[in-house]
Structure 1
Amino acid sequence: MRSLVIAVLAIVSVAGPATAETRYLAYDASDRVTQALTRGVTLEADRGLFGAISVRRIISTSQRGAADIRRGGPDAVRRVLPTGSTETSIYAIAPEGDGRGLTRALCPAAEEAWLVLGRVRLGRPLTLHAVGRWPDGAYRHCVQLSYSWRGEWSMPPAPTLDDSGAPVGR
């Protein structure tokens, strides 16, 4: 029995990364606050062997811009969420590329920012919380963003083009 369990675990550990697939999950802003900051987002995510979805990048659906996000962060991020929040998955916004701009847009004056997501599920609404760490070391809740499910892309969204065919925002 023990050797069977070891064999199954070995197969799963090797097959897990090999069978992970990249998904592009699109969401539309569903309230006024979210619409003021974004019209919508697309999450670049990996779906694992057992169906769990792990996000690795957030892409603006309507504008140019994408930021890498990495799973993990300090527990202090969860402690500043509004009472009753059920979201628990912390993702650090990478400061490289458009991540710095995303941090400034969501948490002005914060040195670092994190996104706290609930479980990402196909066909379901999504709530994100932005939490920042200020120069005084305090963690503060910045904004709650609410999205409704739009659909799944087979590839990342194409950049918006102007009348001449040039990408908008470059």
Structure 2
Amino acid sequence: MRMLRTERLVLREWRESDLGPWAALNADPQVREHFPGVLSRAESDASVARFQRDLEARGWGWWAVEVRATGEFVGFAGLDPVEEELPVTGVEAGWRLARSAWGHGYATEAGRAALGFGFESLGLPEVVAITTATNLPSQAVMRRLGMAHDPADDFEDPTVPPGPLRPSVVYRRRRPLSG
């Protein structure tokens, strides 16, 4: 199974010890501000089971993120095929971090590692990132990753109940030209 290392982070497979911190992250209303709601412990645990199955099957997906210096679990980041229900196709980059990890550049660092893996190891021609139109911090990370927004790609997310979280934006980054 693939593990990615950056200067400060390790993107790795999930461990039993990640379940509690992951559930706490998903129960935090501030972390889940741009999602329809918080997750129960059972929903959070089920998401980890899906993530781990995908990592085992493909060798890539949503990795657990830990800080190298301390071994602290701080969230997730990685790549995953875009959900079939959405009007966008391809492979999506994403991240979700505990509040204690905000403001350290970890999302950008983990996102950069995921994009590099997608382009270099998987040979992807392009990677997308999708978020709500209201999630300005995540959009700032997308721009720092060199991703570009085209309003023509924006859509109403059919998997989200009607309301302010339904309008979604899409950012894209094409594989850099080699040479």
Output the TM-score relative to the length of structure 1: 0.30
Higher helix residue share: 2
Q: Name which structure has the greater RCO, CA cutoff 8 Å, separation 6+.
A: 1
Output the TM-score relative to the length of structure 2: 0.29
Higher strand residue share: 1
Which protein has the larger Cα radius of gyration, Structure 1 or Structure 2? 1
